[in-house]
Structure 1
Amino acid sequence: METEVDKEILKSAGAELLPDGRKGLRIHDWEIETIRGTILTSLAHEQWEEKLKTSHLPEMVFGENALVLKHFRSNTKIHFNAFDALAGWKQEGLPPVEVPAAAKWKFRSKPSQQVILDYDYTFTTPYCGSGVVEKDQETVVLYEDELADNGVSLLTVKVRVMPSSWFLLLRFWLRVDGVLMRLRETRMHYVFGKGETPTVLRESCWRETTFKSLSAKGYPVDLAVYSDPGPISQRLPVIKQITQKLMIPHKV
């Protein structure tokens, strides 16, 4: 999604567009850039598999996509990318979700091999960003998988920049049809010019429930109701929540 930004509004907020055709802006001590590219090529796909020590990757991995926030005075970078997110998935190594349809799935990676579902095919990740430490809004897709038409696994990151602050949402959304839903969100917020030590507030919240549990509570289980995690997130019980303050030094 591309958003037109009024230069006069930017100027009044103390901001400017990035030079050299890059997508994003500079505001106060921050440079915020969104980078978009194509899905992994066959060669890059093989290289990622080798590096991650896996033979399984999501159907669509946007390896060139990234969101980068750089704090000038400290040279601190907070960035979000698909490779680090998948590294988190590989490290967490959740057991595969049990679903009747899975037994009928065809191979998902090597054409010469029939897949044995002994890995987390949902690509659930604990990833909450990488880094050393209301006029522009863009969403970057890091990876996506339709789980062989049995649901969706989607990782996106979105930033909103306002005259007074920036707000970021990293969202992993999983729906295994008829079985479970999982929502892992990381929100980050920074207020410009507040306090002597620049501080980013980060909150991670993991929610999860089964379709069976929703039905027992009287909620509908029609898949059309659960196409967007936003409106129904409050129906998913919280299983983990962490709030942190990331202190950014004034100098390198």
Structure 2
Amino acid sequence: MEVEVDENDLKAAGAELLPGGRHGIRIQGWEVESLKRSILSSSTLQLWEEKLQTSHFPEMIFGESCLVLKHLNSGTKIHFNAFDALIGWKQEALPPVEVPAAAQWKFRCKPDQQVILDYDYTFTTPYRGSETIEIDATKFATMNSISLDGPNEKANVSAGTYNLQWEDCTEQIDVVALASKEPILFYDEVVLYEDELADNGVSLLTVKVRVMPSSWFLLLRFWLRVDGVLMRLRDTRMHCVFGDNASPTILRETCWREATFQSLSAKGYPTDSASYSDPSVISQRLPIIMHKTEVLKVPAHI
């Protein structure tokens, strides 16, 4: 989706595009930036193998691509990248999905040697993003301890960063407000990794963001379709309304859906893979297996 930004809309919102060839926007104390790079090089992949202790990876990893949202006054940084997502995959370690074509996949990773599919080859991840607060060197050098107001800050100081904690809540993301005819000042979609499962489906992790005059909204989506066997959709949505509050609030909604082709057939739905090419269209057919909403109160400053 290409978005043409009107200079008048930017000016009216008090926003500006990032300079120096960077792809992003600065608005209401936030800096939103996307980076899209080529597929991971073989040398970098070797480093990842050592760090993650595995030789199994998706076919296409965009390891240097990312989406970063940073609250400038506090240094709060929310970012999305393939490496952290694969850490989540490795830690969750789901059992491999049984498929009729499994015998044909034994050579998919390394043609010169047989590979037993005893790992989660779908690369399903529970990843919902990475968050830190970055403290600049000057502030960090003068801080012997950190004392912040509010229960959402966790003082794990290390190398000038500390982590944030989300709290469960009942508030929901206002989808009606998001559907309003507000101008889009910035939009992008970043693919983090993708695998076609040896032509037996798709495993895809992407993150999309759009910035409006009143808020930013993003969707991190893991989409899996193992043809004839299983579909899995893991969505993480985040919404931040700018308002007049110097300490913004971010809502995060997580929804996991999953169904077998067999269960969909029992409900009268089609079972051909062509009917399930767009996860947005068929998501309502997949039953919810996990749903939660959380809130993060961003500190005004450090």
Bucket of the pairwise TM-score, normalised by the shorter protein: over 0.9
Deviation at 1:143, TM superposition (A): 0.1
Partner of 1:211: 261
TM-score, normalised relative to structure 2: 0.81
Which stretches in structure 1 are left out of the alignment for 5+ residues?
none
Q: Counterparts of 1:89 and 1:76 in 2: how far apart (Å)?
A: 25
CA distance in 2, matches of 1:63, 1:246: 27
How many aligned positions are there? 252
State how 1:19-98 maps to structure 2 within 5 Å.
Answer: 19-98=19-98
AA in 2 matched with 1:105 = W
User: Which sits farther off after the overlay, 174-183 or 131-140?
Assistant: 131-140
Whole-Å Cα distance in 1 between the matches of residues 22 and 291 of structure 2?
35
Query: Aligned partners of 1:194, 1:207: CA distance in 2, in Å?
Result: 36
- Distance between the aligned counterparts of 2:6 and 2:32, measured in 1? 17
In terms of fraction of residues, the more strand-rich structure is 1
Shift of 1:103: 1.3
CA distance change for structure 1 residues 101 and 194 in 2, over 3 Å: closer, same or farther?
Answer: farther
SS for the counterpart of 2:264 is helix
- Report whether the alignment pairs 1:245 with 2:295: yes
CA RMSD of aligned residues (A): 1.2
Name the structure 1 match of 2:271: 221
Match of 1:125 in 2: 125
Q: Is the 8 A contact 2:30 2:70 kept in 1?
A: yes
C-alpha distance 196-64 of structure 1, shift in aligned 2 (>3 A): closer
CA contact (8 A) 1:199 1:247 kept: yes
Name the counterpart of 1:107: 107
Is 1:144 aligned to residue 194 of structure 2? yes
Cα deviations by residue, 1:73-98 (Å, 9 ceiling, x for unpaired) = 10110000000000000000000000
Identity among equivalent pairs (%): 72
Tell me, yes or no, if the aligned pair for 1:107 and 1:115 is still in contact at 8 Å: yes
Given that 2:202 and 2:226 are in contact with CA atoms closer than 8 Å, whether structure 1 keeps it comes out as yes
Question: Is 2:106–2:116's contact at 8 Å kept on the other side of the alignment?
Answer: no
State the TM-score, normalizing by the size of structure 1.
0.97
Aligned partners of 2:247, 2:64: CA distance in 1, in Å?
A: 33
Q: C-alpha deviations, 1:103-135, integer Å up to 9, x for none?
A: 111423334321100000000000000012323
Tell me the CA shift for residue 4 of structure 1: 3.1
